Structure 1
Amino acid sequence: MCVEDIEQVSQEMEDLDDGSTNKKPWPLLSRGDFLSTQMENWVHKDSPFPLAVVAGSNRLESISEETVATDKKHDLLTNFIPTLRSGEWSDIGGRPYMEDTHVCIADLAKNFGRNLMSEDTVSFYGVFDGHGGKDASQFVRDHLPRVIVEDADFPLDIEKAVTRSFMETDAAFAKSCSLESALASGTTALTAMIFGRSLLVANAGDSRAVLSRCGTAIEMSKDHRPCCMKERRRIESLGGFIDDGYLNGQLGVTRALGNWHLEGMKEMGERIGPLSAEPELKMITLTKEDEFLIIGSDGIWDVFTSQNAVDFTRRRLQEHNDVKLCCREMVGEAIKRGATDNLTVVLVSFHLEPPLPSIIQRARFRRSISAEGLQSLKCLLEG
């Protein structure tokens, strides 16, 4: 209806009002009110145009801005493709022997001569903290990646392949121990695999993987120590016990590969011992907010909390953006803080650029308890 039609209708209403005093006059509408009324009549529940869009320009602008902002954030999160950079550093620390070892493999399948149908490259990173000698940690480092690649479910069901490979590698080490008594040792094992936007962490022991998401520490693994009530219940259900904070009074971890020389810890066949080589898994989808992953042996976490390690790493990367140098600086800082164990750090960055300054302000507080004490308390609280 054009403006002239509106004026004609208004004039007809005025004429009707003048010609009959017995009729109640129609309410006269301004041009703006009339157009608004007509537009509201056009828009009904079956209309393809929502009422909010035509009800006013201010609301239209508000909806559009919110939609664009939401879509933009969604695209940043879902269209993210990580660009991997890795570094590593180790030090004997205060120990007489070096029992830690690690591995960084950019293309796992290619490294072992296998071609995958998938376009996604599978990157593999691991930290292995030996005890009772270095033989177990070196054996697992050399064999576990190959066993994973050769598993029938790799890479279609990668979680099943990784779990089974941990167990098979442990059994293979047992056979080696029966042939050479010098191989009677054990090791924790923590691995991280990145394929596409997926991150899979598998852990057996007390090494730890921590993800930085916009500067906030997210623990990707749980420390398997006797103080953890969940582990204690599992151990006791299998006939084991905790004595003075040690598994069966002998071992400071509740999951590990090796240690076949310790009587009653592991059993072949149907019987299962309290010391388990089965890893706990955690998988997430990486987004642009995820900055880097820290994988460290327990010597690192004796003097760093997870958040403290993320803060330290972010500051160093913002200064020089060198992942290997950052690992070296973290190990050096751990030694300054009084770490006495072997020290190993692997750092995997998901960006070429350094982390942006964090806008999250965390409350500062004083503490009078060590990082190790805090971890023990956390184990008790989590159960």
Structure 2
Amino acid sequence: MCTRPLMRCLRGEGGGDGLLWHTDLKSYACGDYSIAVVQANSLLEDQGQVFTSPSATYVGVYDGHGGPEASRFLTHHLFPFLHKFATEQGGLSSEAIRKAFDATEMEFLHFVKQSWRARPQMASVGSCCLVGAISNDVLYVANLGDSRVVLGRKVSEGKENSAVVAERLTTDHNVSDEEVRKEVEALHPDDAHIVVYTQGVWRIKGIIQVSRSIGDIYLKKPELNRDPLFQPFGFPFPLKRPVMTAEPSILMRKLKPQDLFLIFASDGLWEQMSDKTAVDIVSRSPRFGIAKRLVRAAIQEAARKTEMTYDDIKRIGRGGRRQIHDDITVIVVYLDDPLGSSNGRLAHSLVDYTCSPVDIFSLNEDEAQD
């Protein structure tokens, strides 16, 4: 509490963004990471978390929809399941990650069924799910939905001034992509309206753009969709079969010396900038506060599109900003060890955990009162 007035002074009293939260830089076993989240919705639907230990580092970005419950649920359940299955199998693997996703989905289904009488609308809550795991110089990336990981890497190994290029490591499970539309249509050959163009975008059954998620149980369990308790929250036609899945796409990559950093972000960032723009910003900027820098660049681009300034947007309260930009979560992970000291190695031997707040507006209001 004693340091908060000083921190507000350093940020610029009254000049900060009351809907922005960030951790500027922390160390982990392979380098540094930075995290930032900005809240646009009345209830923050994005969540981000990083777990570090001497043997493994986990990164999670969860972009909720229909409410914050699924993304919040993921912050409490996915990493413990990932640790459980990795331990049982003697280390990280694609199979351990797949089992962790399956177990989390089943646990959320159990939560929905337990809540059914009091809160049947929980069946319509879901979340995109993006996870990165690093262990023994191997990177695993698993995703559901349209959050994205982009790698910044040097073109030439060993050259000091080598160009840094962007390499996307995930596939957006969004039916705005033609390949994803074809994938969904091939799974439902007897349904000519499985993907519908409505309100300027492609949507599954005219409802949702992403084809994979945690939650969205009403689109995976037709029997729940037909339940009279759910009718006020569902849609007027019954489903014959599931139209979404929780099957993650998983990539395994041996990290190389020219791999410099990873940008994990919800689609709120990628709606405002290209992979290349994000990588250029990271490669040309100081490490300290880099995730915050990306979030601010995204908001500035959103402001430009609406002929506003960032200061104009900062004056808009939570909820109102959703008309201009989405919730945005960014985690930048550097893939080297710049410390190279005994103090650095001591810090890396510790277990650490960072998680974004449940609600940034309320957090910053509490700090202002203090």
| TM-score bucket (shorter structure) | 0.5 to 0.7
Q: List aligned pairs for 1:188-203, cutoff 5 A.
A: 188-203=128-143
Q: Give 2:71's aligned residue.
A: 137
- Residue 90 of structure 1 contacts residue 331 of structure 1 at CA under 8 Å; is this kept in 2? yes
1:106 to 2:41 alignment: no
Q: Give 1:35's aligned residue.
A: none
Superposed displacement of residue 187, structure 1: 0.1
Superposed displacement of residue 233, structure 1: 3.2
Q: What SS does structure 1 have at the residue aligned with 2:250?
A: strand
Q: Give 1:333's aligned residue.
A: 297
Q: Give 1:121's aligned residue.
A: 55
Superposed displacement of residue 127, structure 1: 0.1
1:343 to 2:328 alignment: yes
- Does 235-244 or 245-254 show the bigger shift? 235-244
- Residue 291 of structure 1 contacts residue 350 of structure 1 at CA under 8 Å; is this kept in 2? yes
Q: List aligned pairs for 1:2-81, cutoff 5 A.
A: none
Superposed displacement of residue 103, structure 1: 0.8
Name the structure, 1 or 2, with higher relative contact order (CA <8 Å, separation 6+): 2
Q: For residues 8-50 of structure 1, give each alpha carbon's deviation from its aligned partner in whole angstroms, at most 9, with x where no partner exists.
A: xxxxxxxxxxxxxxxxxxxxxxxxxxxxxxxxxxxxxxxxxxx
Alignment match of 1:224 (pick from 164, 173, 180): 173
Q: List aligned pairs for 1:141-180, cutoff 5 A.
A: 141-151=75-85, 154-156=89-91, 158-180=93-115
Q: List aligned pairs for 1:182-261, cutoff 5 A.
A: 183-184=122-123, 185-214=125-154, 215-239=164-188, 241-244=194-197, 245-261=202-218
- Letter aligned with residue 143 of structure 1: H
- Residue 266 of structure 1 contacts residue 273 of structure 1 at CA under 8 Å; is this kept in 2? no
Q: Give 1:87's aligned residue.
A: 34
CA RMSD, 1 decimal: 2.5
Change beyond 3 A, Cα 1:222–1:133: same
Q: Give 2:276's aligned residue.
A: 307
- Letter aligned with residue 242 of structure 1: V
Q: What SS does structure 1 have at the residue aligned with 2:208?
A: coil
- Residue 219 of structure 2 contacts residue 244 of structure 2 at CA under 8 Å; is this kept in 1? no
Superposed displacement of residue 171, structure 1: 1.3
Structure 2 unaligned segments of length 5 or more: list them: 1-28, 155-163, 225-239, 303-323, 340-370
TM-score (norm 2): 0.64
**Considering only CA atoms, is the larger Rg found in Structure 1 or Structure 2?**
1
| Structure-1 separation of matches of 2:74 and 2:222 | 19
- Residue 238 of structure 1 contacts residue 272 of structure 1 at CA under 8 Å; is this kept in 2? no
Q: Give 1:43's aligned residue.
A: none
Superposed displacement of residue 249, structure 1: 1.2
Superposed displacement of residue 154, structure 1: 3.6
| Structure-1 separation of matches of 2:223 and 2:85 | 23
Q: Give 2:10's aligned residue.
A: none
| Structure-1 separation of matches of 2:108 and 2:301 | 35
TM-score (norm 1): 0.62
| Structure-1 separation of matches of 2:222 and 2:251 | 26
- More strand as a share of residues: 2
Q: What SS does structure 1 have at the residue aligned with 2:111?
A: helix
- Residue 238 of structure 1 contacts residue 273 of structure 1 at CA under 8 Å; is this kept in 2? no
Q: What SS does structure 2 have at the residue aligned with 1:96?
A: coil
Q: What SS does structure 2 have at the residue aligned with 1:337?
A: helix
- Residue 220 of structure 2 contacts residue 241 of structure 2 at CA under 8 Å; is this kept in 1? no
- Does 329-338 or 154-163 show the bigger shift? 154-163
Superposed displacement of residue 273, structure 1: 2.1
Q: Give 1:39's aligned residue.
A: none
Q: For residues 138-197 of structure 1, give each alpha carbon's deviation from its aligned partner in whole angstroms, at most 9, with x where no partner exists.
A: 111210111112127544461011112112211110110112125331000000000011
Change beyond 3 A, Cα 1:254–1:263: closer
- Does 232-241 or 276-285 show the bigger shift? 232-241
Q: List aligned pairs for 1:292-303, cutoff 5 A.
A: 292-303=261-272
Q: What SS does structure 2 have at the residue aligned with 1:340?
A: coil
Change beyond 3 A, Cα 1:175–1:121: same
Q: For residues 356-376 of structure 1, give each alpha carbon's deviation from its aligned partner in whole angstroms, at most 9, with x where no partner exists.
A: xxxxxxxxxxxxxxxxxxxxx
Q: For residues 108-147 of structure 1, give each alpha carbon's deviation from its aligned partner in whole angstroms, at most 9, with x where no partner exists.
A: xxxxxxxxxxxx7111001000000110001112101111
- Residue 220 of structure 2 contacts residue 243 of structure 2 at CA under 8 Å; is this kept in 1? no
- Residue 266 of structure 1 contacts residue 272 of structure 1 at CA under 8 Å; is this kept in 2? no
- Does 224-233 or 214-223 show the bigger shift? 224-233
- Residue 148 of structure 1 contacts residue 154 of structure 1 at CA under 8 Å; is this kept in 2? no
- More helix as a share of residues: 1
